[in-house]
Amino acid sequence: MSALTPYRIWEALDTSYSWLIDAFTYKPFLGDLRQLFESIRDSIHYLTDDERKKLTDAFDFMLIAHHGQTRLSWEQYALHPLKAMELLLELHPDITTLIACLLHDTIEDTPVTADDIRKKFGEDVAHICEWVSKVSSVRYAFNDSQLETLIKTFLAMSKDLRVIFVKFADRLHNIQTLDYHPREDKKKRIAMETMKIYVPLAKKLWLYSFAVMLENGAFRILEPWVYEEIISYCLHHFWDSPQAIADGKKMIEEVLINNHIPYIAIKGRLKSPYRIYEKLYKKYKIFDVSKVTDVLAFRVITDTVGHCYEILGHVHSKRRPLIHKIKDYISIPKFNNYQSLHTTVLGMFHYPVEIQIRTQNMEDIAEYGVAAHYIYSSGKDMQLNENQANRIKSLQQTVQEFAHTKWWFDSAKLKESLSTDFLTKSVFVYTPKGDIIELPQWSTVLDFAFRIHSDVWLWFKNAIVNGVIKPITYEVKTGDVISINTFSNKKSATAHWMDFLRTTNAKHKLQKYLRESHAEEYKQQWRTMLNEKLKERWLPLLGDDDDRFTQTMTDKELGDLYLGLAMKQHSPGDCIRPLYKDLLYQLRKKPVYIPQEKTTVTPVIVDFSHETTYRLCEECKPKPTQAIIAISSKRWVVIHTLSCPGVYLANKAKTLEAHRADHKPTPYIAKIILTIPPKTQTLVGLLGDLASLGRDSDELAITKEPDWSYQLSLTIILHNPNKISAITAKLHKLNDSYRIRVIFCEP
């Protein structure tokens, strides 16, 4: 018997599409809420009598708080937290989580305060409700609000993962009732937010049921005709799936009984519509549902690893396997510690059938992921495995690092750090001994050196990849066999390595080492450099009476500042601007001397420097009132208008910020126009690619052309136009078939 005995409201989650149709064909509940609550409460078998009383008190409190409020579905608002709690029971949550789920909207939507909840239900419940309210206050609209959602979500995770569990249940019930929303644009926005943020989070936390429900609910809104076509096809060809699953389970059971192999359970499932859609476009690049052969699959759960392999052998002796479909994830687990044997066999039905074989512990990890840590929080036998714990610890460390350095807080850099380790795809490489190391996509051999041993990176000399010496910039690929050569008598780690690291954990290790071993050196070096930049701008030097650095920062923060400068996390200008905005604005109005033999007398500031050698473009001849941009060359910088053909044709990596000395600098509006050839990408897949850029857009327009290609217009606001080159480079890496044009628009 499994140690996990959760209350599953999705009993038919895998056996047919009736669960999916019912879940998203929502009928308003207009009955007695108290009767519904008591029915749900009494079904939670693991609660004590005292906990049931606490849950009832929370329900009464919530009912009074939401009295008189209704939802767009005409139901009492109090039904929403009750339904969310019912969905949350999938994870077998503790009493604190159940109460917090019932109360999660009270702070945001009623006069109830966090202190009211704290006094009546305790600190933990109040904390979860507060953080759910903070996460819920942000809306995704193709701008920085998506970034804020990620930041606040991860900050909440750094405190208590139960915040995320409650938010998943809340979002799922909202997706179920989305048909009652009157505005089509808002429905699309909520669905897209779900697909781009909540589904990846559910997958990375290995919450299978929530991921399946959320992605199909969002998919139904974003691609309704494709969703309906997949449903229709499967209902037509697999209309008897419950009976087929029963027959298949009986066939497998006979094999096990005849060979005296013990088993815990045999389960069957029908692949969900979105997983079919995902496989069609990722593997086959076309929309033809008949191409998916493993719509029906079975899972055998046994007691030991030895029996897993024994079952595989007996199944193959009875049914012919497809050789290329046999996968051993027990010997070589997936990155999230997923373990199972997979095989696809012929002969059970008139179509191929997939069979998965695993132990109960493997099943619990696959089904519940990090939630298992909380399911067993009362001291029972299952805890987070080492791989899971390291990933969560790394994520928490990332958020905390940025939170503790809030004075120079850079939201774009935080998102980049989170995306690198948490929201991107992975590659799998090998040590010479055959150990598998998982790294984020685009990691370098230097990241590998940091990952394999606690301090081998300190002595890094070079890397040998597949028998060939590779430079420090080499990006590892799945299947690479990598060994690291080291110096025997000197440590080689330097701040310049920060340019070649992609993983957050490696950056943290390097930062810690540099902070401890080179603190005084960096302090002197960058104190001098910062003073030079302050002097250039006629600002107070460090240590002066009106120096704002020493007035607003502690010694530790100043030390972190120098370290950040050394590792190129920010420039001196990035540090100076937030503290001296008012003085810098006045400074820009002062006349600037520019040598006559090098350029014209028109006062222009390039990249916030008054001394850059430049000339005006002979073709566009910028007027004093026009927005301008700079293009660098070997001899000097050329100033153009934004509409100049020279800007359109120039290498965007050579663009620089420029503005008139008597004007405030204004952001640049860059429009990226993407043409995606037919059959190479889908709308949902494309949005996933855009999410992986680590950048939010301020406007996004997508049109589907008659030839089934997509035309996408993505508008981004940048303070530094040079950053557009990094974005387009990432797009090319994601898919080299994209045709990309960049236009800088007039403000």
Q: Which helix (H) or strand (E) holds 270?
A: strand 265-270
- For CA atoms 463, 465, 468, 470, give the dihedral sign: negative
- CA 87 – CA 6 distance, rounded (Å): 11
Residue 363 CB-half CA count within 13 A: 24
User: Which residue among 38, 51, 57, 109 is the active-site one?
Assistant: 109
Q: Do residues 291 and 230 lie in contact, with contact meaning Cβ atoms separated by under 8 Å?
A: no
What value does the CA radius of gyration of the chain take, rounded to a whole number of Å?
29
Residue of 440, 444, 401 whose CA lies nearest to 423: 440
At which residue do the structure tokens 């126009």 appear?
673
Residue of 631, 591, 627, 592 whose CA lies nearest to 615: 631
- For CA atoms 593, 598, 604, 605, give the dihedral sign: negative
User: Which residue among 108, 179, 536, 557 is the active-site one?
Assistant: 108
Which residues is 460 bridged to in the sheet?
486
At 591, give phi and psi (nearest 5°).
-65, 145
Tokens of 533: 């930049």
- 109 has catalytic annotation: yes
Residue 499 CB-half CA count within 13 A: 8
204 in helix, strand or coil?
Answer: helix
- CA 239 – CA 378 distance, rounded (Å): 43
Residue of 719, 716, 718, 720 whose CA lies nearest to 740: 716
Q: Do residues 142 and 712 lie in contact, with contact meaning Cβ atoms separated by under 8 Å?
A: no
State the pairing for strand pair 614-616/637-641.
parallel
Q: Phi/psi zone of residue 467: left (φ > 0), alpha (ψ -120 to 50 degrees), beta?
A: left
Tokens of 529: 């450099």
* Cα angle 417-505-193, degrees, rounded to a multiple of 5: 30
Q: Do residues 358 and 341 lie in contact, with contact meaning Cβ atoms separated by under 8 Å?
A: yes
- CA 152 – CA 136 distance, rounded (Å): 9
Residue of 373, 409, 367, 364 whose CA lies nearest to 391: 373
- CA 267 – CA 10 distance, rounded (Å): 14
Work out the number of other CB atoms within 10 angstroms of the CB of residue 529: 14
Write the DSSP assignment of 520-547 as a string of letters: HHHHHHHHHHHHHHHHHTT-PPTTSTT-
Tokens of 215: 């992605």
List residues with catalytic annotation: 108-109
